[in-house]
Structure 1
Amino acid sequence: MLELVAIESKCPEVSTMSQIDNNLKPLPSAVSVLIVDDEPGMRSFLNKALSKKFALVETAGSIEDAEQLRSRCHFDLLIVDIRLPGRSGIEWHEALDEQGRRSDVIFMTGYADLEVAIKALRAGASDFIMKPFHLEQMMSAVDRCIERRLLRRENLMLRREVSIGYSSTIIGSSEAMKSVKQVIERVAPTNAVVLIQGESGTGKELVARQLHLLSGRQGPFVPVNCGSIAPELLESELFGHTAGAFTGAKGNREGLFSFASGGTIFLDEIGEMPLKMQTALLRVLEQKAIRPVGSEKEVNIDVRVIAATNRTLVDEVEAGNFRRDLYYRLNVLDILIPPLRERPEDVVELTHHFTRQLAAELGVREVVWSHEDMVKLQQHEWPGNIRELRNMIERCILLGKPPAEYWKQQVKTESSASQGYPLDWPLKEVEKHHVTSVVDLHSGNKSAAARDLGVSRKTLDRKYKEWFDVSDDQEF
């Protein structure tokens, strides 16, 4: 075992991106850790050890430095020395709790004081470790903290899902969304086939789930993305198969239609379905029966079918990509979800909703959006619709950046991407050009560039070493 000692070394006070260890279940967003200790050697040692396991690690030598870091970014876990210049770690943690800035905390101290340990635990410490300690002790304490945080988050999500109601599920008070809600209420109690149309990210599956919830059907809601299943496997996935029906079919298997018995099957991206399967689906809708692959017997089913597409199916019919008779069979009742750019009044409501939701999930304070922020949000085109809005809000919350900085970075990235590359460039050269361009956008800050690229700092360093034959510690 390796015992920690105060090793004097220089450690860059910047974010270090590292691949999350496979043995630790990651949080929905990247795990972030802040180390606060006035000993440079201890900060350096812990930074090196934890960067191998967690996606974001920062260090601070004082409470003041730690406060500056926390003002820019939320941290899931704090590792804090109790005795710090000017103010104790316990006092700082108590102040954070009073402000509602919740993070798990592990206290460290080099002084064997039982009273201090008790005080730390009463202040809400997740763990208390005496210096010097073995690295295994610290990593075990960290793992316990993260696992407890995971459990709390999962419990919160479960409670939220259980308590969620119709009025709080589909957000939007615009006339367009009021009309959508009215149609849902009217058609949900029927068994009629419903076709939901709308651009990607508008919430088609949410509408389908709401139709199922209000239908009174006792069976499950089974979503199927028709475009994500290989064409040769789609029939077996939907209708099931018998033993020996094809190579690898060692036993009988129920399909998703059978699994959805008494409930609803949601066929998302129906426009991606191959023509052969469209013929089979039309028969199912007309006969209300399925025939497993390899079987000669039909099986009656009691399943409501809801389909969705981001394509204009009428155009697909004219182009010969979609069966006309299936289109008419699916389009008994249709619901058109308008894109977010056509209902800017809903952006404010959605922003507040996602801010509350994400703040609770991430364990941070809610962001207060300025009037200028809201105006910018409403003016944006939102090509990715609600999905893009939610992702933007989560990014702003995690990085502590207002929308203005988000837009600025988006414009830079899109401008860079729009330049394109010569068609005869090798893929490796395209990758090199793109990565170095992003690093340049961040003025050489590879940690920030790694976050935007969605890779670890370690991966970025390895790429630079491969491309430029530089040492691991050389900075650009």
Structure 2
Amino acid sequence: MVEMNTPNTVMSVLVVDDESGMRSFLKKALSRTFSLVETAGSVEEAEQLRSRCHFDLLIVDINLPGRDGIEWHEALDEDTRRSDVIFMTGFADMDTAIRALRAGASDFILKPFRLDQMMQSVQRCVERRVLRRENLLLKREIAQSHPHTIIGKSANIVEMKNVIRRVAATSSVVLIEGESGTGKELVARSLHQLSNRNGAFVPVNCGAIAPELLESELFGHVADAFAGGRNGREGLFSFANGGTIFLDEIGEMPMQMQMALLRVLEQRTIRPVGSEKEIPVNVRVLAATNRELMAEVEAGRFRRDLFYRLNVLNIVIPPLRERPDDVVDLVHHFTRQLATELGVREVTWSHEDLLVMQRYDWPGNIRELRNMVERCLLLGKPPAEYWRSQIEPVVEMVAVGEAGYPSQMALKEVERLHVLKVIEEHKGNKSAAARVLGVSRKTLDRKFKEWGLVE
């Protein structure tokens, strides 16, 4: 018997033959390879099964009672005919072989056949199916691609990278927390890249899919499972089998789907919408949120049991305002990357521009920083000039000449003295001082913390 070198992926097969012995023989042989093997003794039985489940491969006897296998396949809708099909017959002639090929046959096997002959044919079909899946996922990756390197040398980022390296090789669920724009998908991709999983990385934004479609998107559906779903389709869990699925914005997931996801995590099986069959999957689940999930649990908007199931390993991404030392490295990285993508000249930012960017709070985090670099490159304006009305340039912030600070005084000390002077002028009102200084109140609070000043 041929040992099939089948990739670790979800596959389903339907055997249609009026001989019960042949059905039993092939079901036993194929069950070692396929997640789901169904058999039918007639076209009518096959139609019933096909209406309830998607099949990647059809193995069909041509000489069936009533309606032959080729006629049945020719009458199938276009979506179903994308399935690979192997025709079998004990009464072959040249015209039959030509009909089978014109009907889109992947192979044509004469009865009686050796098992290794059938399994070699099946192997070729599986390889083609996997290749099609990989091409689909590659297109999806290209559409959503961005560099997978985590930029930064600050202490909290170095610690986060160490955690990623420690947990990447495990199969445990990881919950990634962080504000919007901090790079949660980047962390998820790094976990996948450093793992030993050979399957695809499939990102899903739970908040961007309509709640009524999310279950079908994740688990797939059978034909006629709901209005408008005449043709069955596979879900993203099937595409991610052997790899990683990344559920971003998990806090947006509806309660009904939370229960379904909990079942998948506990049983490692999925059930397509409208199907009575459960299909085993080998998928590592990574989840991310910008919400405080425990608060969502207490508010009754998120299942407590799902929260504890997701929170096996936890990675918290620090916001950009807590690692200003990384801003310069990120700016250089985005400048090089975007200059190439946009086809513009790569610029060298001035010291003033870099200081302005380090001083900003970045409420939109790394996403906002990248957008700012792109905007400045396209407009040809440096950040200090573009943001003059929002962030006071360094020369205005320090006001060395007007304040009479000694020229030999360090810039950071001048900054501290100037900020304290402005706050004193406003009788301790930091909000008013922040408006005069052209910075946010959060920036002043952060500066006070850096300077060790306690109110």
Indicate the residue corresponding to 2:197 in structure 1.
Answer: 217
AA aligned to 1:249 is: G
Say if 2:314 is the partner of 1:334: yes
AA aligned to 1:305 is: V
Residues 203, 248 of structure 2: 8 Å contact kept: yes
Pairs within 5 Å for 1:16-31: none
Indicate the residue corresponding to 1:188 in structure 2.
Answer: 168
SS of structure 2 residue aligned to 1:305: strand
User: In structure 1, which of residues 387, 401, 404 is the aligned counterpart of residue 367 of structure 2?
Assistant: 387
SS of structure 2 residue aligned to 1:196: strand
Q: Deviations over 1:310-352 (max 9, x none)?
A: 0010110111110010000000001000000000000011011
Distance of 2:185 and 2:280 partners within structure 1: 26
Indicate the residue corresponding to 1:348 in structure 2.
Answer: 328
AA aligned to 1:378 is: Q
AA aligned to 1:365 is: R
SS of structure 2 residue aligned to 1:238: helix
Q: Which has the higher contact order (CA 8 A, sep 6+)?
A: 1
Distance of 1:382 and 1:188 partners within structure 2: 29
Distance of 1:404 and 1:303 partners within structure 2: 47
AA aligned to 1:272 is: E
Residues 356, 391 of structure 2: 8 Å contact kept: no
Pairs within 5 Å for 1:42-441: 169-408=149-388
Distance of 1:210 and 1:377 partners within structure 2: 27
Residues 244, 285 of structure 2: 8 Å contact kept: yes
Distance of 1:247 and 1:206 partners within structure 2: 37
By how many angstroms is 1:367 displaced?
A: 1.5
AA aligned to 2:294 is: V
Indicate the residue corresponding to 1:89 in structure 2.
Answer: none
Distance of 1:309 and 1:409 partners within structure 2: 33
AA aligned to 2:182 is: T
Q: Deviations over 1:250-291 (max 9, x none)?
A: 122111111111110000000000011000100000000011
Distance of 1:330 and 1:383 partners within structure 2: 27
By how many angstroms is 1:375 displaced?
A: 1.2
Q: Deviations over 1:72-99 (max 9, x none)?
A: xxxxxxxxxxxxxxxxxxxxxxxxxxxx
By how many angstroms is 1:410 displaced?
A: 5.3
AA aligned to 2:240 is: A
Indicate the residue corresponding to 1:133 in structure 2.
Answer: none
Distance of 1:373 and 1:408 partners within structure 2: 11
Distance of 1:353 and 1:231 partners within structure 2: 37
Indicate the residue corresponding to 1:450 in structure 2.
Answer: none
SS of structure 2 residue aligned to 1:227: helix
By how many angstroms is 1:235 displaced?
A: 0.7
AA aligned to 2:370 is: R
State the TM-score, normalized to the length of structure 2: 0.53
AA aligned to 2:377 is: I
SS of structure 2 residue aligned to 1:292: coil
Note the residue ranges of structure 1 that are not aligned, 5 or more in a row: 1-156, 413-476
Q: Deviations over 1:155-200 (max 9, x none)?
A: xx98xx89x7x7xx11000001001100110111111100000000
Distance of 1:239 and 1:407 partners within structure 2: 47
By how many angstroms is 1:361 displaced?
A: 2.0
Distance of 2:376 and 2:389 partners within structure 1: 12
Residues 360, 391 of structure 2: 8 Å contact kept: no
By how many angstroms is 1:355 displaced?
A: 1.0
Distance of 1:411 and 1:297 partners within structure 2: 59
By how many angstroms is 1:409 displaced?
A: 5.6
Distance of 2:389 and 2:218 partners within structure 1: 43
Question: Greater CA radius of gyration, 1 or 2?
Answer: 2
By how many angstroms is 1:365 displaced?
A: 2.6
Residues 177, 314 of structure 2: 8 Å contact kept: yes
Residues 216, 273 of structure 2: 8 Å contact kept: yes
Percent identity (aligned): 73
AA aligned to 2:260 is: A
Distance of 2:221 and 2:374 partners within structure 1: 42
Residues 153, 326 of structure 2: 8 Å contact kept: yes
Distance of 1:203 and 1:270 partners within structure 2: 15
By how many angstroms is 1:362 displaced?
A: 2.3
Distance of 1:316 and 1:349 partners within structure 2: 35
By how many angstroms is 1:405 displaced?
A: 2.4
Distance of 2:309 and 2:169 partners within structure 1: 19
By how many angstroms is 1:411 displaced?
A: 7.5
AA aligned to 2:189 is: R
AA aligned to 1:243 is: A
Note the residue ranges of structure 2 that are not aligned, 5 or more in a row: 1-140, 393-455
AA aligned to 2:275 is: S
